[in-house]
Each structure stands twice: as structure tokens, then as C-alpha cells.
Amino acid sequence: MHFHSAMINSLLPILVAAAPSSAGPQTPSAAAPATVAAVTVPRVPAGHPRVYVRASDLPAIKAKLSRDEFKAAWSQVQAATSHPDYGPFASAFVYLVTGDKAAGRRAIENGLTALAKSDEGRTVSQPMHWAACVYDWCYDLLTDTEKQSFIKEFQRLAASHGPYYPARLDTHAVVGHDTEGWLLTGQLPIGVAIYDESPVMYDAAARLFARKFVPVRNFYYPAHAHHQGDSYSSRMVHDLLASWLFRRMGAGDVLSREQRYVPYETIYNLRPDGRQFRHGDTYDEGGRAATRLLIQMLAAAYYDDPYMLWMADSADLFNRPTPLERIFELLFRRPSAPQRPIGELPLTKFFGPPIGTMIARTGWERGLDSRAAVVRMHIGGNFFGNHQRKDWGNFQVYYRGPLAISSGIYEGAQSGYNSDHWRDYYHQTVAHNSLLIFDPTEKWSTTANPPRTTAASAGPSVGPTIPSIWRR
């Protein structure tokens, strides 16, 4: 591989920057995963509201509504009460903070309708998540019949997908859809909301969370990075909302406080052009998904972190927040919370076991004309699977454009999840700028053995011959 001399000269300061330094603000070094103590299942407090907010929190939340820094968020939430997707959630919040009974009734009726039509619970925008808030925040407006209708739909949805209902202890807790919203922002907040009428959901879900989900997360949090890559690190939103749920219930920190630094991977993974270095299955090519903003805000508010708050407020980095992000901003963000620019952070960060990545840069200047050079070096550690790729020994380089990259496509019918392209190229080492060592006796766990070539490597499928490029 040949580099232009200007590129080499630009990279030299990176090697110097990679040396340990005590100058400037520091984030703790990623440490080896520690043994995790047993977690006690938090008790559900009496009374409502209790999903993300308690009665004692309401005076401070209501006081935010008249402050200039929250006016845009409050106006957007008020305008969203008739939104086709977020209307019931926004209406429930309006009732919570104003007592507007018409808004509360609208939240209940439209929320129940949306919940009955839903068959999904992976993401925080689904009715399975926010309908728990509707039930809890509008509790005093619910009739007994409506309570039972909500509970019936909650149980139907929970039973339709892992961890099922009641939540089973043999559920996947590391990767897969079970680790997304179905438990963390599904059955847990639902169980809290309906606990007085039906405690089964919370008791089983909280037991699963404490026994399996907590140890897994506390194992990889010390790396300060997520194992599912630049896009599927979006799953952190569920972890952070679970942390907020239990904190507001009075349980304190149920997950390791190393959680604070996992979103720092997004900060360090940022290229000068505003995009993210690609690793794992990348679907958010521009790196601008509003979920990234929400993760930064939730973590910044929970841990009083000024750098993540600066990221959350950087309008040029993320898409405009939706009413959902705005509601959580009003619930959790502290008024006049301090911010610090990421340019104050060290130029190098090591993301230790079990991830094994270092990102080093010559500066934090952003823009297409930026002279900052950035290198991402990944030696690897534990293999978690699913959206994680076989890219050990990978390095990527950016200087006034991407110079060494991870390749492949993750979209469309021909190159999406579990396609030939995904199995035979995108998830293989050949796609990721890593050292290749040819083993003619290697057995491939792919569609063909050895794998077929795909459009991204050498054109359409040509049979079971290993492409010559893979032998180099």
C-alpha cells in the first residue's frame, strides 16, 4: 500500500499523540471487565406516575417549560399531540405537566388504538414503549375497562416475541432482537406501569434483567465501546432508558457507571467530514440518526457529562430531534447544565477489553477542508457475533477524505442482513483492510463452502472457486 508523502507527514503527529499524556481533560482508561456482584430486583414504588418520572419530579419539570432553553422542545411536543406516530405520547406528556384532561383522554384513546394495531417492540418509537407512559401518566383518567384493554394488548405483544410472557430466563441477553426494546423499553416500563393490576410482567422481566442483562452489560461497558458497531450501538438507548427508569423509581444505579463512557465511542469515531468510521453492520451511513442525539443527551443528563451534552446540541451532527427526543429532554435534562466542546478532549482514546480499539487524531477540526488526520486501529477482543464483523487487525485512515476503509454494503434485498453478500463478503476479513492469511483447508460457515463471490467483490455468483483476490 502506498501513501502520498503529505499523508505520511500528517500521520506522524498521530503516533506522537497516541503516547500517554496527562495534559487536558481525561476520560478514564478502558479497564478489564470486572466480576459483577448479584443485582437485587428493584421494587416498584407505590402510586403514579412512576415510569421515568415521580410526582416529586414534576415541579422541576414544569418549571422548565417557561425557560428559554426548553421553549423549542416544549413547543414541538405541544404541536405533536396530533402527530400520526407520536401523538398519544405527546398528549400524555401534556396531561402530565398541565393536567389538560382532553389531552389525557386523547392519549388514552389514540394510544390504545395504536397499541392494538402494533406487532413490534424493538425500538423506543413503538407503541409498546410509549403506551406504558400513557397508561402510567394518565392513570387517574383510565376506566377499569381501559386498564384491562391496555393490559391485554401489552401481554399479547410481550408473548409474541422473546423474552416472551412471562419473561423467560433462557432469553438471549448479548445480541439479537431480544436485547433491544422488547425487554428494556418494553416489558420493564410496562411492568412498572401495570404493577398494581398485574405484577407478573415486571417480576419476571426484572428478574431476567438482573440475572442476565446486567452482568452482560457490566462485562463490556469498561471497554467504553459497543460491540455491535457504529450503527447498532443505537441499542444503547434502551440501556440508558432502563437506567433512567430505575433511577426515577429510587433504585439508584442498577448498571455499572462505566456505562457513561460507552457513547464516547461515537465522539471519537467521528471523522472530520461528520461521518462515522464504519464497523459492524452500517445502516446509518451519514451518522446523523436522531437516536444518536438521544443517546448523547440521555447519558449527558444521567452522568452530568458536559462533552456529551455539547454533542447532543450540535445541530450539524444529527438530524432534527423528533417529539420523542424532546419529551425525554424535558424529563431528564437539567436546566443550565454546563457544556464543554469535544475539542478539549485528548486526541487519543483506547477502548480496551473486551473490544480492543484505539482511535487517534491530530486534531478535532471538522469540515471537508479540515487538516485533521484520524486513524482507527482495531485489534479486537471477544467476538459477540450478530452485527459484529470479522475485522480483527483492521485499520482505517481519514485525511481530507477516507483513505483506508472498511468496505461492503448493508442495504437492499441483495446485500442486507444474512444475504450472500453479507455472509460471504461483508462479514469476512477480506472486506476490512486487514491482514489475510490463506488456509486452503479452512471450512467456511457460509452459504457455499468455500464462499461464492458476490457483486461487491468480483461480480455475480460464479460457483465454488475461491476468487484469486482472496488468496493474496
Encoded amino acid at 140, one letter = D
Taking alpha carbons only, the member of 73, 131, 134 closest to residue 103 is 134
State the Cα–Cα distance between residues 34 and 13, nearest whole angstrom.
34
Q: Are 128 and 106 in contact (CB under 8 A)?
A: no
Which residues are catalytically annotated? Answer: 177, 232, 387
Q: How far is CA 181 from CA 11, 99, 123, 162, 284, in A?
A: 41, 29, 5, 10, 19
State the Cα–Cα distance between residues 354 and 220, nearest whole angstrom.
6
- Measured from the Cβ of residue 401, the count of other Cβ atoms closer than 10 Å reads 10
Collect contacts of 28-31 with beta carbons under 8 A, ≥24 apart.
28/261, 29/350, 29/352, 30/222, 30/223, 30/224, 30/225, 30/261, 30/350, 30/351, 30/352, 30/353, 30/355, 31/222, 31/258, 31/352
Coil, strand, or helix at residue 178?
helix
Residues 6+ apart with CB under 8 A from 245: 51, 52, 188, 189, 192
